[in-house]
Amino acid sequence: MTTAIRLNRVSLKYMTEKGEVHAVNSVDLAIEQGEFVGIVGPSGSGKSTLLSLIAGLLLPTSGRVEVFGQEVRGPSSQSAYMLQQDCLLEWRTIEGNALLGLEIMGRVSAEKRLTTVTLLNEYGLEEFRHLYPRQLSGGMRQRVALVRTLATEPAICLLDEPFSALDYTSRLTLQNDVSTILRKSGKTCVLVTHDIPEAIAMCDRVIVLTNRPGRVKWNLPIELSAGEKQPLLRRRAPEFGKYFNRIWEEMELSVATEKTS
């Protein structure tokens, strides 16, 4: 197996006017190629910071981040983000938005354009190609954002609470679609979420962080007996509730520890 992401004793301190904010503390983590890993933890525990470190948008204060065996020294096209806000440009068509990432990288070609349109078709956006973002529902807009991300052919997808702005049913549907799309493409994915059932439904493994400064508190492989990968079906697995309770207890415990210290 190839290790896609490796964090070795990674710490990050933000320097602010009021002093240092120790966001991430000595995190060790290895994620294999093709794995779908969830990161959950209290608000402010450094989840988004960890994604920025993997993406090379931030460099660690100490420790080392590697992507496919190479030290991360800055942003690279190997990693791509999907965020809570879809960040679509309202004045561009759906196709124009889907091509944006490639355009920014100066990589638009007839071939890439064709691949992007094929992705749009594949993800049910064919008839919306020439429409504008405001004409689409929140869930559809997020699909466009996903196509924009995948069009640049990143090896690693970093998802930072991408479903949290959606209503409940759109969220469940999109979790299912995004998971199916990403698993089919064989990408290595890291999903940050505060939604425990979402992490269990979508991921092969869930990592629980402590309160700030975030450390890896627990690493829990999710093995549902049905062996199912589709989130909507995984939610029906008999062990689902057991995993929920275990993670919930682990997160509560980290809060209790903080209070007494």
Q: Which one among 3, 8, 26, 48 touches Mg ion, defined by CB under 5 A?
A: 48
Of 196, 204, 197, 242, nearest in space to 42 by CA: 196
Q: Which is nearer to Mg ion, 83 or 174 (CB)?
A: 83
Q: Which residues contact 85 (CB under 8 A, 6 or more apart)?
A: 165
Q: What does 46 interact with, of ligand ADP, Mg ion, none (CB < 5 to 8 A by kind)? A: ligand ADP
Q: Which one among 11, 25, 49, 175 touches ligand ADP, defined by CB under 6 A?
A: 49
Q: Which is nearer to ligand ADP, 50 or 147 (CB)?
A: 50
Q: Which is nearer to Mg ion, 46 or 60 (CB)?
A: 46
43 touching ligand ADP, by CB under 6 A: yes
Q: Which is nearer to ligand ADP, 55 or 100 (CB)?
A: 55
Q: CA-CA distance, 160 to 99, in Å (whole number)? A: 21
Length of the chain: 261
**Smallest distance from the beta carbon of 46 to ligand ADP, in angstroms?**
4
Give backbone dihedrals phi and psi of 253, rounded to 5 degrees, phi first: -60, -40
CA angle 259, 206, 217 (to 5 degrees): 35
Q: How many of the other CB atoms lie within 10 Å of CB of 139?
A: 17
List the end-to-end C-alpha distance of the chain, in Å, as a whole number: 40
**Smallest distance from the beta carbon of 165 to Mg ion, in angstroms?**
13
**Position of tokens 């944006």?**
100
Q: What does 23 interact with, of Mg ion, ligand ADP, none (CB < 5 to 8 A by kind)? A: ligand ADP
46 touching ligand ADP, by CB under 6 A: yes
Q: How far out from the chain centre does Cα 78 lie?
A: 14
Site string for ligand ADP, 10-39 (x = CB under 6 A): ----x-x----x-x----------------
Q: CA-CA distance, 185 to 150, in Å (whole number)? A: 9
Q: Which one among 8, 13, 44, 115 touches ligand ADP, defined by CB under 6 A?
A: 44
248 touching ligand ADP, by CB under 6 A: no
250 by DSSP, 3-state: which?
helix
Residues forming contacts to ligand ADP in the complex (CB under 6 A) are 14, 16, 21, 23, 41, 43-49, 212
